[in-house]
């Protein structure tokens, strides 16, 4: 991935927000995306995750914070050849994603901070941080997981404007970064390149 990766992600997100990029996800994803209000409110964001995975064709995606599993399924189906590992400390979340029965998805029920050592340095193509939304936790995830991301890889961070702690954690990131307006409600979404 070149240094233009963040620019490409930004172009994709803007194209989706402006309605210039069609939703070419499988019908399965479109149907899941309409299940409840909170999922519908994330539709553009999920479309972006699918399109971004489709664009960069990662080999290994690591997601911290599975929740309902919709981000993971969009990443996994955006690049069916990728291995997607999703970590959440709540078994209900891991179980929901596992029930979708995708062959390229592995779910782990554990605290994300305890799982970082599982990954080799420079092995992760795409890292998506969306677990505990506190300054302390996000800062620690960045410290532990960024060395696992290969040079040129991208780290997506959700809810970067949720509160003062998340803003502080986002502002402390020293890598080239971008925010993506209009993608995911009012709590912000951003990315940086390693």
Q: What is the pLDDT of residues 145-170, one digit of tens each?
A: 999 999 999 999 999 999 999 999 99
- pLDDT band at residue 2 using 50, 70 and 90 as cut-offs: very low
- The percent of residues above 90 in pLDDT, for the chain, comes to 63
Every domain of the chain and the residues it spans: 5-193
DSSP string, 53-121: HHHH--SEEEEE--TTSHHHHHHHHHSTTSEEEEEES-HHHHHHHHHT--TTEEEEES-HHHHGGGSPT
Question: Which pTM does this prediction carry?
Answer: 0.91
pLDDT of the residue at 44: 87
- pLDDT band at residue 90 using 50, 70 and 90 as cut-offs: confident
pLDDT of the residue at 101: 80
* CATH number of the domain located at residue range(s) 5-193 in this protein: 3.40.50.150
């Amino acid at each position: 991935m070149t240094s233009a990766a963040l620019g490409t992600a930004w172009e994709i997100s803007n194209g989706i927000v402006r309605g210039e990029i069609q939703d070419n996800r499988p019908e399965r994803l479109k149907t899941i995306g309409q299940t409840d209000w909170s999922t519908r409110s994330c539709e553009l964001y999920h479309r972006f995750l699918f399109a971004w995975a489709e664009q960069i064709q990662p080999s290994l995606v690591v997601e911290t914070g599975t929740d309902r599993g919709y981000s993971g399924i969009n990443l996994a189906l955006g690049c069916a050849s990728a291995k997607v590992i999703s970590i959440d400390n709540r078994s209900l979340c891991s179980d929901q994603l596992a029930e979708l029965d995708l062959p390229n998805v592995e779910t782990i029920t554990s605290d994300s901070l305890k799982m970082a050592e599982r990954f080799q340095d420079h092995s992760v193509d795409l890292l998506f941080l969306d677990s505990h939304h506190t300054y302390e936790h996000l800062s620690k995830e960045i410290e532990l997981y960024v060395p696992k991301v290969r040079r040129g890889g991208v780290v997506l961070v959700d809810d970067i404007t949720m509160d003062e702690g998340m803003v502080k954690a986002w502002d402390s990131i020293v890598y080239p970064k971008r925010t993506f307006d209009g993608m995911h409600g009012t709590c912000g979404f951003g990315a940086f390149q390693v």
